[in-house]
């Protein structure tokens, strides 16, 4: 799953960064520096004035951006992008040279943090050897990247088709399923995001689909499980699972199993709200797909590569999909790369039949070198286990502690380094403080207060997603939770 641009107090963030100076800020000095960040520094400047000027380089960057760059998902005259000038580890610096603790991992992709030396060095070394090559030729980085990715998937997966990112990975996975089955329809969940290209945005369920949906993409949406806002009036996880599966089974029956190529779903819906499905739900979807001869496509673009405390989040339910899409964390976002992992039965359809699809930059050497370095660093540094422990020992308990102190938090949910706070008008009604796909004055105050504290949040509708780098230190993670605590207090006080 790809995601929407992160809305912060200062507008939409960028993912550009430069190699930082050699000076490293410790956890304690970072926290102190961030806490001294003036609320009138970055924030007031975007409101029309500040006693603190932008650095000349940042001022030039901002000027060029506003004059020449067309931003995604945005009304162009209503945005004021924050300039990121440099980054290191879990921290970024803005156009006023203020440090910000990156609790967004940008768009949930800097799984190894910013400027990881092994990944940076691998890109540099690959550039010195072979910057680019056409995809019909074999190159060492691509082959090794495919081998490493497959080594962390079930042995039913045999090959990788590389794409430029998550949206085109979803596009190609659906194309493979349609060609393999000879059917057109695809089922996907309403609470989902699968990318911004034409088919991927139609498979998406959230409101960004509406203006792009002409009803001609062969997509049928269904309700997935979400106990906190259950469409099935369930009272516990087991009920939610069974009723969600019964609903999906009915949709399949009424649409006609013989017309459906695939079910596409995120292992953990990310941008839609970090909704970890009930135990057994993915296995139930697998059983329905097997019974009706449907391809099961699992979107791991956001949840994969350690974000959920597993290499791939579908492992949490011990299920084996037919196709898996990935992107984001595979390179920690340093160079764009995505892909489709393909199992044997789907693969056999193209043994003697040409696959009618491709991409100019499929398996680009610089991107694949970044993937090789990222996966090896994660293996050597125990990153996946660290993310699992971070969720159990730091983020989960810390966020539940915030909920005990702040009534605006209606629900805390997540796993690993993948969490969301659902903010509500009151806990009895569970009314969101901002509409789906939109924002509100109250949500804006909370986001601004986070920024004033020195925290860069990921905000979507009425939620704050807590999605820091997987290798964030416990000290920085706790500092970020303290910033969030103060921001909620200030905004709600």
pLDDT digits (tens, 9 = 90+) for 399-409: 999 999 999 99
Q: What percent of the chain has pLDDT over 70?
A: 89
- In the structure, what pLDDT confidence band is assigned to residue 21 with cuts at 50, 70 and 90? very low
pLDDT digits (tens, 9 = 90+) for 57-75: 999 999 999 999 999 999 9
Closest CA to 362 of 382, 337, 326: 337
Asked if residue 324 lies in contact with residue 264, where contact means CB atoms within 8 angstroms, the answer is: no
Q: What's residue 52's pLDDT?
A: 65
What's the pTM? Answer: 0.89
Residue 464 sits at φ, ψ, to 5 deg, of -110, 120
Question: Average pLDDT for residues 433-461, to the nearest whole number?
Answer: 95
Q: Give the DSSP per-residue string, 175-211.
A: HHHHHHHS--EEEEESS----SSHHHHHH--SGGGGG
Closest CA to 340 of 162, 194, 171: 162
pLDDT digits (tens, 9 = 90+) for 303-343: 999 999 999 999 999 999 999 999 999 999 999 999 999 99
Q: What's residue 11's pLDDT?
A: 40
Beta-carbon-side half-sphere exposure of residue 381 (alpha carbons within 13 Å): 19
Q: What's residue 493's pLDDT?
A: 72
Q: What percent of the chain has pLDDT over 90?
A: 84
Residue for token pair 């697998």: 286
pLDDT digits (tens, 9 = 90+) for 224-243: 999 999 999 999 999 999 99
Q: What's residue 53's pLDDT?
A: 73
Residue for token pair 């008008």: 425
pLDDT digits (tens, 9 = 90+) for 117-175: 999 999 999 999 999 999 999 999 999 999 999 999 999 999 999 999 999 999 999 99
pLDDT at 36 over 60: no
Name residues whose C-beta falls within 8 Å of residue 480's C-beta, 6 or more positions apart in sequence.
101, 103, 455, 466, 468, 472
Q: What's residue 216's pLDDT?
A: 80
């Amino acid at each position: 799953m790809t995601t929407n641009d992160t809305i912060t107090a200062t507008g939409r963030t960028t993912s550009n960064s430069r190699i930082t100076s050699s000076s490293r800020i410790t956890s304690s000095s970072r926290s102190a520096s961030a806490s001294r960040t003036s609320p009138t520094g970055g924030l007031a400047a975007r409101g029309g004035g500040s006693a603190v000027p932008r650095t000349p380089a940042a001022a030039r960057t901002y000027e060029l951006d506003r004059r020449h760059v067309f931003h995604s998902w945005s009304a162009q005259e209503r945005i004021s992008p924050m300039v990121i000038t440099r980054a290191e580890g879990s921290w970024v610096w803005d156009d006023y040279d203020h440090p910000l603790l990156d609790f967004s991992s940008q768009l949930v992709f800097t799984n190894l943090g910013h400027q990881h030396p092994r990944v940076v060095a691998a890109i540099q070394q690959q550039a010195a050897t072979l910057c680019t090559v056409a995809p019909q030729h074999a190159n060492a980085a691509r082959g090794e990247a495919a081998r490493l990715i497959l080594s962390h998937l079930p042995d039913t997966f045999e090959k990788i088709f590389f794409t430029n990112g998550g949206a085109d990975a979803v596009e190609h996975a659906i194309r493979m399923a349609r060609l393999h089955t000879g059917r057109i329809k695809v089922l996907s969940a309403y609470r989902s995001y699968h990318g911004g290209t034409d088919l991927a945005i139609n498979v998406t369920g959230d409101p960004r689909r509406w203006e792009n949906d002409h009803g001609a993409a062969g997509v049928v949406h269904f309700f997935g499980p979400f106990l906190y806002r259950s469409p099935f009036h369930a009272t516990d996880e087991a009920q939610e699972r069974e009723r969600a599966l019964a609903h999906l089974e009915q949709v399949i029956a009424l649409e006609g199993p013989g017309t459906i190529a695939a079910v596409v779903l995120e292992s953990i819906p990310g941008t839609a709200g970090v909704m970890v499905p009930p135990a057994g739900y993915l296995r139930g979807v697998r059983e329905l797909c097997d019974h009706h001869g449907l391809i099961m496509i699992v979107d791991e673009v956001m949840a994969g590569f350690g974000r959920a405390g597993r290499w791939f989040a579908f492992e949490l339910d011990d299920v084996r999909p037919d196709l898996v899409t990935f992107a984001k964390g595979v390179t920690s976002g340093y160079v764009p790369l995505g892909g489709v992992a393909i199992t044997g039965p789907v693969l056999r359809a193209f043994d003697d039949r040409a696959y009618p699809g491709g991409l100019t930059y499929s398996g680009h050497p610089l991107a694949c070198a970044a993937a090789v370095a990222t996966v090896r660093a994660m293996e050597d540094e125990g990153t996946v286990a660290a993310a699992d422990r971070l969720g159990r020992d730091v983020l989960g308990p810390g966020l539940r502690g915030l909920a005990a102190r702040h009534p605006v938090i209606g629900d805390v949910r997540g796993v690993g380094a993948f969490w969301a706070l659902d903010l509500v008008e009151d806990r009895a009604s569970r009314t969101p403080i901002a509409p789906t796909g939109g924002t509100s004055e109250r949500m804006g105050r909370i986001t601004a207060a986070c920024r004033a504290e020195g925290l860069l949040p990921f905000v979507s509708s009425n939620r704050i997603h807590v999605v820091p780098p997987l290798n964030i230190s416990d000290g920085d993670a706790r500092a970020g939770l303290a910033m969030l605590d103060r921001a909620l207090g200030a905004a709600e006080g």
